[in-house]
Amino acid sequence: MTPAPAVTSLSMLTCKVPAFPAQHARPVPVGDWEHIPATTRGEVDARLTAHGYAVLEGSAIPDPGAAVSVAEALGLGPVFTPPQYQGRAYVDDGGVTQITADASTAGHPAFGQTTGQHLHTDGTLQRIGEIKTTLMLCARPAASGGTSQLFNAAGAFAALLNADPAAAAALTAPDVLVRTSNLPDSHGQASIGPAFAIADGRILSRYSVTSTDHYDPAAVTSPAALDRALEFLRDAAQPSTSYYTEVTLTAGQALLLANDAISHGRAPYQDSPDAPRMLFRALFTTRCAATEQTA
């Protein structure tokens, strides 16, 4: 996909923009993770299309291999490992990342901490829209906290595009968002690109507001428009809006995200010393076919 050079109107959209439901639907049952029923795919597709996320629930505690089983059942293809994660101790040979606050992830500034994470898009060092799907499986929840915070960035951008096209256009400037890696040995690797784009009639997002993200006013024709855009999205990402929701995974559940539409963060948490929080994360450059339906 080649993003359009400018975003000027909602008329450029031909695909559905996700909208969060007023209440979470019951998790989609997937059995023992090894034998996920074929009927699961249609329900998961429908939820990703409509809401940008889906919660799955297995009858057993998942291990890293469960990510591969989910990918096979949903037609997601192989796990994608961003280059900066290759060879890390917390990433297995299949590309599945272990997220837990112990010595195994001590080298990662977010995975190895119990502090919160600001809203971000996974794989922001990749080109916009490259990582379409994020899967997070919960083997052990935290003793308290650790809620996943979801922001419908694509939906909020569509609202901004309707209300203030000039502000929305600022977020599509080719060099407006600068992400700098803070991983050990990354030597300040950075990725510069738009925060939003439209490709094939869909809004693509890499909206992130972590300490490693910078929105460059020199990259836009109107810094004031960029300020308006960022303020609009900050306001839209508040818990009182329809663009924000939270998901707390329990053991045996998984969260599937449309990573190129939904930004996510994490609340701080407290661990049990003998049973620390344990999640497995897998990234994919594809999404289930039904989620590409036009509006």
Domain-located, residue 2: no
209 lies in a domain? yes
pTM greater than 0.75: yes
Does residue 4 lie within any of the structural domains?
Answer: no
Question: What is the rounded average pLDDT of the residues 108-122?
Answer: 82
pLDDT of residue 265: 97
Does a structural domain hold residue 148? yes
Burial bucket for residue 239 (CB in 10 Å: 0-12, 13-18, 19+)? exposed
* 197 assigned to some structural domain: yes
Q: Residue 226 sits in which domain range?
A: 27-265+272-292
Using the predicted structure, report yes or no on whether residue 50 has a pLDDT greater than 70. Answer: yes
CATH value at residue 132 = 3.60.130.10
pLDDT attached to residue 295 = 35
What number is the average pLDDT over the span 226-246? Answer: 98
**pLDDT reported for residue 82:** 87
Q: What is the pLDDT of residue 45?
A: 92
Confidence grade of residue 151 (pLDDT, cut at 50, 70, 90): very high
Rounded mean pLDDT, 11-17:
80
Residue 15 lies in a domain: no
* Total number of domains in the chain: 1
- What percent of the chain lies above the pLDDT cut of 70? 88
On the question of pLDDT at 4 being above 50, the answer is no
Look up residue 8 and give its amino acid. T
Asked if residue 238 is part of any domain, the answer here is yes
- Average pLDDT for 65-75: 94
Instruction: Give the pLDDT band of residue 111 (cuts 50, 70, 90).
Output: low
Q: Tell me the residue type at 160.
A: L
Share of the chain above pLDDT 90, in %: 72
Residue 70 resides in a domain: yes
Over residues 137-162, mean pLDDT? 96
